[in-house]
Amino acid sequence: FVQLEYIKASLDYLRIKWIETDCCECDDYIAMIAQQFDGKVFISSTDTDFFQLVNDWVKIIKFKGKNSVLIDKQYIYRCYGINPEDFVLYKALVGDSSDNIRGIDNVGPKTAKKIINSILDSDNNRFFAIYNKNIDLITRNLQLIKLPNKEMDHTCIDLKDLSVNFELIKNFKPLKIISEITKEL
């Protein structure tokens, strides 16, 4: 936290627009903006939670210097064998240690792909049976992955209750509080 003021000053100097809030986690707010923005969106992050947002107009930039990657629908399908809209279920099946989400025992990436595909293909009963047997844990995991951070219940606002003034975002000088660009519906 002691570095925040230096980071803000650096962003101001570089004329990079920034906002801060204590109403929700940053990734939840970024997701909300990406879903509401009318135009192309590029999110620079290594957080795979954003993969679920990828579509024809939302892409992820995974910055690795000269080896940076642009993550689009084809990239996710090539790497995981699933569509972006199935990524939350994928994480619920395999787990995510960075988010303290325990996956299904003996289910790794290959089996998760087969389970997801078996939901669409009823002939693949063996993998659908694994899904059905673990539905309670999968449901709990899905809730953990999808719920925004509610640690500060007295200040948190449900993201669907926020709307964004995009004209202000396009033109604003660096802002200090999120309320200047959001309003309750």
pLDDT above 70 covers what percent of the chain? 74
As a whole number, mean pLDDT of residues 66-76 equals 91
The whole-chain average pLDDT of the chain stands at 76
pLDDT band for 100, please (50, 70, 90 cuts). confident
Taking the C-alpha atoms of residue 167 and residue 172, their distance in angstroms, rounded to an integer, is 8
With 80 as the cut, is the pLDDT of residue 21 above it?
Answer: no
> Would you state the structure tokens that stand for residue 44, as one six-digit string?
């620079």
Instruction: Give the pLDDT confidence score for residue 77 in this predicted structure.
Output: 95
Phi and psi torsions of 148, nearest 5°: -70, 160
Q: Between 164 and 156, name the one with better pLDDT.
A: 164
Q: Between 71 and 176, name the one with better pLDDT.
A: 71
Helices (H), the chain: 4-13, 26-36, 73-80, 87-94, 109-120, 125-133, 135-146, 166-171
pLDDT band for 81, please (50, 70, 90 cuts). very high
pLDDT band for 152, please (50, 70, 90 cuts). very low
Please give the angle made by the CA atoms of 73, 99 and 82, to the nearest 5 degrees. Answer: 25
pLDDT band for 180, please (50, 70, 90 cuts). very low
pLDDT band for 123, please (50, 70, 90 cuts). low
Q: Among positive and negative, which fits the CA dihedral 158, 163, 166, 171? A: negative
Q: Between 28 and 107, name the one with better pLDDT.
A: 107
Instruction: Give the pLDDT confidence score for residue 110 in this predicted structure.
Output: 92
Q: Between 71 and 137, name the one with better pLDDT.
A: 71
pLDDT band for 150, please (50, 70, 90 cuts). very low
With 90 as the cut, is the pLDDT of residue 162 above it?
Answer: no
Q: Which of 33-47, 71-85, 130-144 has the highest mean pLDDT?
A: 71-85
The pTM of this model reads 0.69
